[in-house]
Amino acid sequence: MKFLSKYRRHKFAAPLLLMTALAALGFTYSVATAAPASNSMSASAKSTLISEGQTIFLKGCSSCHGLNSEGGAVAPSLIGVGAASVDFQVGTGRMPMQDMSQQAMRKAPLYNEEEVAALAAYVASLAPGPASLTNEEITWERDGNTADGGELFRNNCAMCHNFAGQGGALTQGKYAPTLMGVEPKHIYEALITGPQAMPVFSDKVVTPEEKLSIIKWIKAAESEPNLGGASLGRVGPVTEGLLIWTVGIGLLIGIAVWLTAKAR
Protein backbone atom coordinates (compact mmCIF):
# COMPACT_ATOMS: atom_id res chain seq x y z
CA MET A 1 0.00 0.00 0.00
CA LYS A 2 3.04 2.22 0.46
CA PHE A 3 3.44 2.32 -3.32
CA LEU A 4 -0.05 3.68 -3.86
CA SER A 5 0.18 6.35 -1.19
CA LYS A 6 3.63 7.40 -2.44
CA TYR A 7 2.52 8.03 -6.03
CA ARG A 8 -1.05 9.16 -5.46
CA ARG A 9 -0.14 12.75 -6.15
CA HIS A 10 1.99 11.86 -9.18
CA LYS A 11 1.11 13.89 -12.26
CA PHE A 12 0.18 10.71 -14.23
CA ALA A 13 -1.96 9.29 -11.47
CA ALA A 14 -5.25 10.95 -12.52
CA PRO A 15 -4.98 10.18 -16.27
CA LEU A 16 -3.98 6.58 -15.45
CA LEU A 17 -6.94 6.16 -13.13
CA LEU A 18 -9.26 7.57 -15.78
CA MET A 19 -7.84 5.18 -18.40
CA THR A 20 -8.25 2.19 -16.04
CA ALA A 21 -11.83 3.16 -15.24
CA LEU A 22 -12.70 3.55 -18.91
CA ALA A 23 -11.08 0.25 -19.79
CA ALA A 24 -12.94 -1.50 -16.98
CA LEU A 25 -16.23 0.04 -18.09
CA GLY A 26 -15.63 -0.95 -21.70
CA PHE A 27 -14.67 -4.47 -20.71
CA THR A 28 -17.69 -4.85 -18.46
CA TYR A 29 -19.94 -3.56 -21.20
CA SER A 30 -18.54 -5.90 -23.79
CA VAL A 31 -18.88 -8.87 -21.43
CA ALA A 32 -22.39 -7.89 -20.40
CA THR A 33 -23.59 -7.59 -23.97
CA ALA A 34 -21.60 -10.58 -25.21
CA ALA A 35 -24.50 -13.05 -25.38
CA PRO A 36 -26.70 -11.17 -27.84
CA ALA A 37 -23.66 -9.99 -29.73
CA SER A 38 -22.64 -13.54 -30.53
CA ASN A 39 -26.18 -14.24 -31.79
CA SER A 40 -26.63 -11.06 -33.70
CA MET A 41 -26.00 -11.09 -37.35
CA SER A 42 -24.31 -8.51 -39.41
CA ALA A 43 -26.29 -5.48 -40.40
CA SER A 44 -26.48 -6.52 -44.03
CA ALA A 45 -27.75 -10.02 -43.21
CA LYS A 46 -30.41 -8.49 -41.04
CA SER A 47 -31.61 -6.13 -43.69
CA THR A 48 -31.76 -9.03 -46.15
CA LEU A 49 -33.95 -10.94 -43.66
CA ILE A 50 -36.19 -7.92 -43.25
CA SER A 51 -36.61 -7.49 -46.98
CA GLU A 52 -37.33 -11.21 -47.36
CA GLY A 53 -39.93 -10.84 -44.65
CA GLN A 54 -41.40 -7.87 -46.41
CA THR A 55 -41.71 -9.89 -49.63
CA ILE A 56 -43.58 -12.66 -47.79
CA PHE A 57 -45.68 -10.10 -46.00
CA LEU A 58 -46.71 -8.36 -49.20
CA LYS A 59 -47.72 -11.68 -50.74
CA GLY A 60 -49.38 -13.41 -47.84
CA CYS A 61 -50.48 -10.84 -45.27
CA SER A 62 -50.93 -7.41 -46.81
CA SER A 63 -54.34 -8.06 -48.31
CA CYS A 64 -55.80 -7.87 -44.81
CA HIS A 65 -53.12 -6.13 -42.74
CA GLY A 66 -52.40 -3.43 -45.37
CA LEU A 67 -49.37 -2.79 -47.54
CA ASN A 68 -47.60 -0.99 -44.71
CA SER A 69 -48.99 -3.19 -41.91
CA GLU A 70 -51.25 -0.32 -40.98
CA GLY A 71 -54.21 -2.63 -40.54
CA GLY A 72 -57.63 -2.46 -42.15
CA ALA A 73 -61.28 -3.13 -41.67
CA VAL A 74 -60.80 -6.83 -40.98
CA ALA A 75 -57.31 -6.99 -39.48
CA PRO A 76 -55.39 -4.99 -36.87
CA SER A 77 -52.27 -2.90 -37.41
CA LEU A 78 -49.07 -4.83 -36.86
CA ILE A 79 -46.93 -1.80 -36.03
CA GLY A 80 -45.43 -2.40 -32.63
CA VAL A 81 -46.77 -5.93 -32.07
CA GLY A 82 -43.22 -7.24 -32.15
CA ALA A 83 -41.56 -10.41 -33.35
CA ALA A 84 -43.04 -12.49 -30.52
CA SER A 85 -46.53 -11.92 -31.80
CA VAL A 86 -45.57 -12.93 -35.35
CA ASP A 87 -43.72 -16.01 -34.12
CA PHE A 88 -46.79 -17.09 -32.15
CA GLN A 89 -49.49 -16.30 -34.71
CA VAL A 90 -47.66 -17.58 -37.79
CA GLY A 91 -45.61 -20.25 -36.02
CA THR A 92 -48.74 -21.99 -34.65
CA GLY A 93 -50.50 -21.75 -38.01
CA ARG A 94 -53.13 -19.29 -36.74
CA MET A 95 -52.05 -16.76 -39.34
CA PRO A 96 -52.80 -16.60 -42.17
CA MET A 97 -56.39 -17.20 -41.07
CA GLN A 98 -58.30 -20.04 -42.65
CA ASP A 99 -61.60 -18.17 -42.60
CA MET A 100 -63.15 -15.07 -41.14
CA SER A 101 -64.60 -16.85 -38.12
CA GLN A 102 -64.55 -15.46 -34.60
CA GLN A 103 -61.08 -16.65 -33.89
CA ALA A 104 -58.00 -17.91 -35.75
CA MET A 105 -57.46 -21.55 -34.96
CA ARG A 106 -54.29 -23.50 -34.52
CA LYS A 107 -53.35 -25.57 -37.55
CA ALA A 108 -50.27 -26.80 -39.41
CA PRO A 109 -48.10 -23.70 -40.06
CA LEU A 110 -48.14 -22.40 -43.63
CA TYR A 111 -44.62 -20.97 -43.45
CA ASN A 112 -41.43 -22.75 -42.41
CA GLU A 113 -39.19 -21.55 -39.60
CA GLU A 114 -36.99 -19.34 -41.79
CA GLU A 115 -39.99 -17.65 -43.34
CA VAL A 116 -41.53 -17.07 -39.92
CA ALA A 117 -38.22 -15.56 -38.74
CA ALA A 118 -38.12 -13.29 -41.77
CA LEU A 119 -41.71 -12.15 -41.23
CA ALA A 120 -40.97 -11.58 -37.55
CA ALA A 121 -37.89 -9.54 -38.42
CA TYR A 122 -39.88 -7.45 -40.85
CA VAL A 123 -42.70 -6.71 -38.40
CA ALA A 124 -40.19 -6.05 -35.61
CA SER A 125 -38.43 -3.54 -37.87
CA LEU A 126 -41.57 -1.42 -38.11
CA ALA A 127 -41.59 -0.47 -34.43
CA PRO A 128 -40.16 -1.99 -31.28
CA GLY A 129 -42.18 -4.75 -29.58
CA PRO A 130 -41.66 -7.97 -27.64
CA ALA A 131 -38.91 -10.07 -29.21
CA SER A 132 -39.54 -13.62 -30.34
CA LEU A 133 -38.01 -16.47 -28.39
CA THR A 134 -36.57 -19.87 -29.04
CA ASN A 135 -37.46 -23.04 -27.15
CA GLU A 136 -33.88 -23.11 -25.80
CA GLU A 137 -34.38 -19.73 -24.14
CA ILE A 138 -37.46 -21.04 -22.30
CA THR A 139 -35.62 -22.91 -19.57
CA TRP A 140 -38.77 -24.26 -17.93
CA GLU A 141 -37.26 -27.62 -17.08
CA ARG A 142 -34.46 -25.98 -15.10
CA ASP A 143 -36.08 -22.87 -13.65
CA GLY A 144 -39.76 -23.78 -13.34
CA ASN A 145 -41.57 -25.23 -10.32
CA THR A 146 -44.51 -27.50 -11.09
CA ALA A 147 -46.49 -26.92 -7.89
CA ASP A 148 -46.09 -23.12 -8.12
CA GLY A 149 -47.02 -23.33 -11.76
CA GLY A 150 -50.20 -25.21 -10.84
CA GLU A 151 -51.19 -22.49 -8.39
CA LEU A 152 -50.49 -19.77 -10.95
CA PHE A 153 -52.31 -21.73 -13.64
CA ARG A 154 -55.43 -22.13 -11.50
CA ASN A 155 -55.29 -18.44 -10.58
CA ASN A 156 -54.75 -17.04 -14.06
CA CYS A 157 -55.42 -19.61 -16.76
CA ALA A 158 -57.89 -22.31 -15.64
CA MET A 159 -60.93 -20.04 -15.84
CA CYS A 160 -60.68 -20.12 -19.64
CA HIS A 161 -58.34 -23.00 -20.49
CA ASN A 162 -59.96 -25.51 -18.04
CA PHE A 163 -58.36 -27.08 -14.97
CA ALA A 164 -56.22 -29.45 -17.05
CA GLY A 165 -55.42 -27.09 -19.93
CA GLN A 166 -57.94 -28.75 -22.23
CA GLY A 167 -59.44 -25.46 -23.37
CA GLY A 168 -62.90 -24.06 -22.93
CA ALA A 169 -65.63 -22.01 -24.53
CA LEU A 170 -65.85 -18.22 -24.43
CA THR A 171 -68.71 -16.03 -25.60
CA GLN A 172 -69.88 -15.66 -29.21
CA GLY A 173 -67.93 -18.63 -30.51
CA LYS A 174 -64.59 -17.50 -29.17
CA TYR A 175 -62.70 -20.08 -27.22
CA ALA A 176 -59.59 -20.73 -25.18
CA PRO A 177 -57.74 -23.44 -27.09
CA THR A 178 -56.25 -26.57 -25.60
CA LEU A 179 -52.71 -26.14 -24.30
CA MET A 180 -51.72 -29.71 -24.96
CA GLY A 181 -48.90 -30.13 -27.47
CA VAL A 182 -48.05 -26.42 -27.63
CA GLU A 183 -44.35 -25.51 -27.89
CA PRO A 184 -42.98 -23.82 -24.75
CA LYS A 185 -41.90 -20.72 -26.69
CA HIS A 186 -45.40 -20.31 -28.09
CA ILE A 187 -46.95 -20.51 -24.61
CA TYR A 188 -44.47 -17.88 -23.43
CA GLU A 189 -45.10 -15.65 -26.43
CA ALA A 190 -48.86 -15.96 -25.94
CA LEU A 191 -48.43 -14.84 -22.31
CA ILE A 192 -46.48 -11.72 -23.30
CA THR A 193 -48.47 -10.76 -26.39
CA GLY A 194 -52.04 -11.77 -25.46
CA PRO A 195 -53.27 -13.18 -28.77
CA GLN A 196 -56.97 -13.34 -29.80
CA ALA A 197 -59.20 -13.10 -26.73
CA MET A 198 -56.32 -13.66 -24.28
CA PRO A 199 -55.12 -10.87 -22.01
CA VAL A 200 -51.44 -9.88 -21.82
CA PHE A 201 -49.65 -11.22 -18.75
CA SER A 202 -46.85 -8.67 -18.40
CA ASP A 203 -43.72 -9.45 -16.41
CA LYS A 204 -45.08 -7.35 -13.56
CA VAL A 205 -48.23 -9.46 -13.30
CA VAL A 206 -46.60 -12.83 -13.87
CA THR A 207 -42.82 -12.71 -13.57
CA PRO A 208 -40.63 -14.54 -16.12
CA GLU A 209 -39.82 -17.25 -13.55
CA GLU A 210 -43.52 -17.70 -12.87
CA LYS A 211 -44.17 -18.02 -16.59
CA LEU A 212 -41.62 -20.83 -16.69
CA SER A 213 -43.39 -22.51 -13.77
CA ILE A 214 -46.71 -22.30 -15.58
CA ILE A 215 -45.12 -23.89 -18.65
CA LYS A 216 -43.64 -26.61 -16.46
CA TRP A 217 -47.05 -27.37 -14.96
CA ILE A 218 -48.68 -27.48 -18.41
CA LYS A 219 -45.97 -29.87 -19.59
CA ALA A 220 -46.51 -31.99 -16.46
CA ALA A 221 -50.26 -32.12 -17.10
CA GLU A 222 -49.56 -33.02 -20.73
CA SER A 223 -47.31 -35.92 -19.86
CA GLU A 224 -49.30 -37.10 -16.84
CA PRO A 225 -50.70 -40.57 -17.45
CA ASN A 226 -54.42 -41.01 -16.88
CA LEU A 227 -54.21 -42.23 -13.33
CA GLY A 228 -57.82 -43.32 -12.91
CA GLY A 229 -58.28 -45.10 -16.23
CA ALA A 230 -59.71 -43.61 -19.43
CA SER A 231 -59.57 -39.83 -19.02
CA LEU A 232 -62.94 -39.08 -20.71
CA GLY A 233 -61.31 -35.95 -22.09
CA ARG A 234 -60.49 -34.28 -18.75
CA VAL A 235 -63.42 -31.94 -19.23
CA GLY A 236 -65.33 -32.56 -16.02
CA PRO A 237 -68.61 -34.29 -15.19
CA VAL A 238 -70.36 -33.88 -18.57
CA THR A 239 -68.61 -36.82 -20.20
CA GLU A 240 -68.98 -38.83 -16.98
CA GLY A 241 -72.75 -38.30 -17.14
CA LEU A 242 -72.76 -39.25 -20.79
CA LEU A 243 -70.93 -42.48 -20.04
CA ILE A 244 -73.31 -43.46 -17.26
CA TRP A 245 -76.40 -42.82 -19.39
CA THR A 246 -75.03 -44.79 -22.33
CA VAL A 247 -72.70 -47.58 -21.22
CA GLY A 248 -73.60 -47.72 -17.51
CA ILE A 249 -77.38 -47.76 -17.41
CA GLY A 250 -77.55 -49.21 -20.93
CA LEU A 251 -75.54 -52.24 -19.93
CA LEU A 252 -77.56 -52.78 -16.75
CA ILE A 253 -80.92 -52.54 -18.53
CA GLY A 254 -79.60 -54.92 -21.18
CA ILE A 255 -78.73 -57.40 -18.45
CA ALA A 256 -82.16 -56.95 -16.83
CA VAL A 257 -83.78 -57.77 -20.17
CA TRP A 258 -81.59 -60.84 -20.45
CA LEU A 259 -82.40 -61.96 -16.88
CA THR A 260 -86.14 -61.78 -17.45
CA ALA A 261 -86.13 -63.16 -20.97
CA LYS A 262 -88.41 -66.14 -21.35
CA ALA A 263 -86.65 -69.41 -22.05
CA ARG A 264 -87.39 -70.42 -25.63
Residues that bind other proteins (CB under 8 A): 102, 146-147, 150-151, 154-155, 158-164, 166-173, 175-176, 217, 220-221, 224, 226-232, 234-241, 243-245, 247-249, 251-253, 255-257, 259-260
CA distance 137 to 33: 16
> Is-contact 92 198, C-beta < 8 A?
no
Residue 7 or residue 245: which is nearer to other proteins going by CB?
245
Report, in Å, the least distance between residue 62 CB and other proteins: 29
Report, in Å, the least distance between residue 1 CB and other proteins: 52
> Is-contact 216 149, C-beta < 8 A?
yes
Residue 58 or residue 147: which is nearer to other proteins going by CB?
147
Report, in Å, the least distance between residue 231 CB and other proteins: 5
Residue 14 or residue 159: which is nearer to other proteins going by CB?
159
Identity of the amino acid at 29: Y
> For residue 248, what are the CA distances in angstroms to 205, 239, 251, 253, 259?
46, 12, 5, 9, 17
Buried b (16+ CB within 10 A) or exposed e, 71-110: eeeebeebeebbbbbbbbbbbbbbbebeeeeebbeeeebe
Report, in Å, the least distance between residue 209 CB and other proteins: 17
Residue 122 or residue 140: which is nearer to other proteins going by CB?
140
Residue 120 or residue 176: which is nearer to other proteins going by CB?
176
Report, in Å, the least distance between residue 246 CB and other proteins: 10
